[in-house]
A and B are shown apart, each in its own frame.
Chain A
């Protein structure tokens, strides 16, 4: 593979990743996004399509295009966990509550501020909205999508000897 076209392919991939990250900030600041995961996937998908179009316009072949796509996929799988740590991590939210109380919080106040029943109710709403469990008369039951995720991770936890976790 000659050098310059490969550099161009990787540069295109990196540039489109930068575009996706910039669009993430702009879109999430301008619009009240409710389906965050889907929106992020769409932004990175658009970046991948943009890269393919760039390579096609530049007359570069599919192999070089694949290098840039690998860079976009690599950025995506690293960025999604980072984003969800910032946005949804319970530890981060607790840390932010502590930051708002420089004198510290006694255990009772911690329990009041960090009301786990409210946190759980919010997360169950989010999960139902995402289609993992459904809420019925008898309670929460897993959908096919929820069974697939739960079953896959139960297998991993068994294989790796992990405890209940959570």
Chain B
């Protein structure tokens, strides 16, 4: 995360930030494996009962925790900070004069003053750029890739009985 923070803090031109973060994670894997191979199991300080004699289990467990911390932790923090709808509303209220906003001002001031309609356009652009939907003859149509994703989400939402407004 220090590497990601340094990249983002110094490089204002970083555009594909999620992909950049994943790249940093991939680069961290050989570093992790190298550190694992080059250091003793007890790190020179741990008692014997805290060491694991089977390297595949020891190393694999560490890798899985590392991956979970990245994909479930830092990458989600980034996604929330960059795309979070609820979070943006809270930040807009926090940045308002007097720290209070009417519902109407929340809508017009959403996204640092871009307005709530911008949120919809951003989502549409996202669906198009990821290949899930495409503009054809002035209509937004779902692509085969989007259809597969939609079927998956429909199944998951049905299994978890998600049908209410969130």
Q: Mark A141-164, 1 if CB is under 8 A from B, else 0.
A: 110001101110110110111111
- Measured in the bound complex, the distance between the Cα atoms of B87 and A149 in whole Å is 8
Q: Mark B84-125, 1 if CB is under 8 A from A, else 0.
A: 111111110111001111110111001111101101101110
Contact A106 B86 (CB under 8 A): no
CB of A94 closer than 8 Å to a CB of B: yes
Contact A88 B139 (CB under 8 A): no
Q: In the complex, which residue of chain A has the Cβ closest to the Cβ of B21?
A: A160
Contact B146 A132 (CB under 8 A): no
- Measured in the bound complex, the distance between the Cα atoms of B76 and A78 in whole Å is 9
Known: A3-B57, A63-B49. A124 touches B90 (CB 8 A): no
Q: Which of B14, B84, B94, B124 contacts A151 (CB 8 A)?
A: B94
Known: A98-B133, A124-B106, A133-B90. A165 touches B127 (CB 8 A): no
CB of B68 closer than 8 Å to a CB of A: yes
CB of B53 closer than 8 Å to a CB of A: yes
Q: List, in ascending order, chain B residues with CB within 8 A of A138's CB.
A: 98, 100, 102
Q: Mark B30-56, 1 if CB is under 8 A from A, else 0.
A: 000000000000000000011111100
Contact B88 A116 (CB under 8 A): no
Contact A104 B72 (CB under 8 A): no
Contact A96 B153 (CB under 8 A): yes
Q: List, in ascending order, chain A residues with CB within 8 A of B161's CB.
A: 28-29, 32
Contact B89 A165 (CB under 8 A): no
Known: A77-B72, A104-B140, A127-B90. A159 touches B5 (CB 8 A): yes
- Measured in the bound complex, the distance between the Cα atoms of B88 and A116 in whole Å is 14
Known: A98-B150, A139-B102, A157-B81. A123 touches B89 (CB 8 A): yes
Q: List, in ascending order, chain A residues with CB within 8 A of B151's CB.
A: 99
Residues of A in contact with B, size category: 35 or more
Report the stretch among A41-49, A50-58, A67-75 that lies at the interface: A67-75
Contact A116 B116 (CB under 8 A): yes
Q: Which of A103, A150, A160, A166 contacts B119 (CB 8 A)?
A: A166
Contact A95 B65 (CB under 8 A): no
Q: List, in ascending order, chain A residues with CB within 8 A of B87's CB.
A: 149-150, 153, 166
Shortest C-beta distance, A70 to chain B (Å), equals 6
Contact B166 A126 (CB under 8 A): yes
Q: List, in ascending order, chain B residues with CB within 8 A of A3's CB.
A: 52-54, 57
Q: List, in ascending order, chain B residues with CB within 8 A of A28's CB.
A: 160-162
Contact A161 B49 (CB under 8 A): no
Q: Which of A6, A127, A132 contacts B52 (CB 8 A)?
A: A6
Contact B146 A99 (CB under 8 A): yes
Q: List, in ascending order, chain B residues with CB within 8 A of A29's CB.
A: 159-161
Contact B5 A139 (CB under 8 A): no
Q: Which of B90, B122, B140, B147 contacts A150 (CB 8 A)?
A: B90
Besides A83-B160, A90-B120, A110-B124, 7 more A-B contacts (Cβ < 8 Å) are: A1-B49, A90-B123, A138-B102, A141-B93, A162-B81, A165-B83, A166-B122
Which 7 pairs, one residue from A and one from B, show the smallest C-beta to C-beta distance? A164-B112, A166-B88, A104-B139, A74-B68, A77-B72, A104-B141, A99-B150
